[in-house]
């Protein structure tokens, strides 16, 4: 006699595995299609003004949305709670992770410690691989060794995640007078976002845990986390190479597909901009579509976070196109304007000392009247050469 209950059980298991595979394929496809989000560190002037106007509530909102959109952080949390069933165990491990990332978020931001965000995100990607590898008992299965103490590892990896969160926070227009409150508000938003995501994860895992296909789901999910972590690691290391080998990549990154070398004999304009401690500023040029200009800027020995970007003329949406970003003390290249509008640099000085930026330019452009000095120490840019067609 055919056992119908066994047949139904096997059919349900196959169906469950199919749903799992479909879900993971769609998730990974969405990750690959949105890979550019991994480099989304730039911010428009409208967004920065909204933060200033919104105060600490805006920092809290940004913290929550950053956590909810930070798929590397969420993947790590997902890996932590995957096989945990009791509330006590979940609370213990999630609290350990929270304490870890809160310590470095607050300490690094308050002391203006800024690491290369590509390198930090690459390590965070490896942390996702680590937690998933531990979930499949990889240390015993493949390495024949006992796994490290999970609690200590989660705290240590939480400290690294905190550096990533701090790097993001230090790109925002922080207030010197309310710096600690800004940090606390952002961190509180991170925890709100984490709790919201954690609740959704627990509901999904609890529903899957009751199904016959949970064992297959757990293997597929954790191997997929390892694959995602490896993919993110190589993507971030590619970005890191662009920042540490800026001279090698600057032309190909900023010429929109043109590979000719930059060979500058005489600069058309040289501008000096004094950037006070813990402040940021922008410097813009106007250029027509298809026009080309070359540039070189230097901040001496002090590295600055920068975002070289363009904004279309008459645009009211706040959109912009980022050509190159990173943390450097000098950078050079050339760009062919993909549209008519303003093109220029956003710099952020996270150090406790003022920095002088020397910017040299040559090509088809006009200096705009919006190039104002940063506050609170007014200092007009020093023009050394008369620009052709300058405003």
Tell the burial category of 158 from Cβ atoms under 10 Å away from its Cβ (0-12, 13-18, 19+). Answer: buried
Q: Specify the pLDDT at position 22.
A: 52
Question: Which of 36-45, 282-291, 294-303 is the least confident region?
Answer: 36-45
Q: For 197-221, what is the mean pLDDT?
A: 85
The partner residues of 232 in beta bridges, in order of sequence, read none
Lowest mean pLDDT among 198-212, 251-265, 325-339: 251-265
| DSSP for residue 35 | G
Q: How many CB atoms lie within 10 A of CB 156?
A: 14
Instruction: Report residue 2's pLDDT band, with 50, 70 and 90 as the boundaries.
Output: very low
- Residue 125 CB partners (closer than 8 Å, separation 6+): 72, 229, 230, 231, 232, 233, 236
Domain 250-383 has CATH 2.60.120.510: yes
CA 117, 119, 120, 123: dihedral to nearest 10 degrees?
Answer: 160
Q: How confident is the model at residue 55 (pLDDT cuts 50, 70, 90)?
A: confident
Domain ranges, ordered by start, for the chain: 4-244, 250-383
Tell me the β-bridge partners of 119.
none
């Amino acid at each position: 006699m055919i056992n119908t209950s066994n047949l139904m059980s096997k059919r349900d298991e196959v169906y469950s595995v199919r749903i799992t595979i479909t879900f993971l394929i769609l998730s990974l496809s969405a990750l690959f299609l949105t890979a550019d989000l991994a480099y989304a560190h730039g911010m428009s002037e409208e967004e920065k003004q909204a933060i200033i106007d919104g105060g600490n509530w805006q920092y809290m909102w940004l913290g929550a949305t950053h956590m909810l959109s930070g798929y590397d952080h969420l993947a790590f949390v997902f890996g932590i709670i995957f096989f945990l069933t009791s509330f006590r165990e979940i609370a213990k491990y999630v609290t350990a992770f929270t304490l870890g990332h809160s310590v470095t978020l607050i300490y690094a931001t308050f002391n203006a410690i800024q690491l290369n965000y590509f390198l930090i995100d690459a390590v965070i990607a490896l942390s996702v691989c680590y937690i998933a590898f531990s979930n499949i008992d990889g240390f015993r299965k493949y390495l024949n060794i006992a796994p490290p103490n999970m609690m200590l590892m989660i705290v240590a990896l939480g400290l690294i995640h905190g550096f990533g969160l701090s790097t993001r926070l230090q790109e925002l227009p922080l207030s010197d007078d309310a710096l600690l409150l800004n940090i606390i508000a952002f961190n509180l938003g991170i925890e709100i976002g984490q709790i919201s995501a954690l609740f959704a994860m627990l509901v999904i895992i609890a529903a899957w845990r009751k199904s016959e296909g949970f064992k297959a789901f757990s293997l597929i999910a954790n191997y997929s986390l390892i694959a995602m972590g490896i993919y993110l690691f190589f993507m971030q290391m590619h970005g890191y190479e662009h920042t540490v080998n800026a001279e090698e990549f600057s032309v190909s990154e900023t010429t929109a597909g043109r590979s000719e070398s930059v060979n500058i004999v005489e600069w058309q304009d040289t501008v000096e901009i004094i950037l006070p401690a813990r402040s940021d500023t922008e410097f813009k040029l106007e250029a027509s579509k298809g026009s080309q200009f070359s540039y070189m800027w230097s901040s001496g020995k002090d590295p600055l976070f920068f975002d070289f970007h363009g904004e279309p003329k008459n645009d009211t949406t706040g959109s912009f196109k980022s050509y190159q970003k990173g943390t450097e003390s000098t950078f050079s290249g050339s760009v062919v304007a993909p549209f008519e509008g303003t093109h220029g640099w956003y710099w952020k000085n996270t150090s406790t000392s003022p920095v002088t930026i020397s910017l040299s330019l040559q090509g088809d452009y006009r200096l705009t009247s919006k190039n104002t000095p940063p506050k609170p120490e007014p200092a007009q840019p020093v023009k050394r050469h008369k620009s052709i067609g300058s405003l």
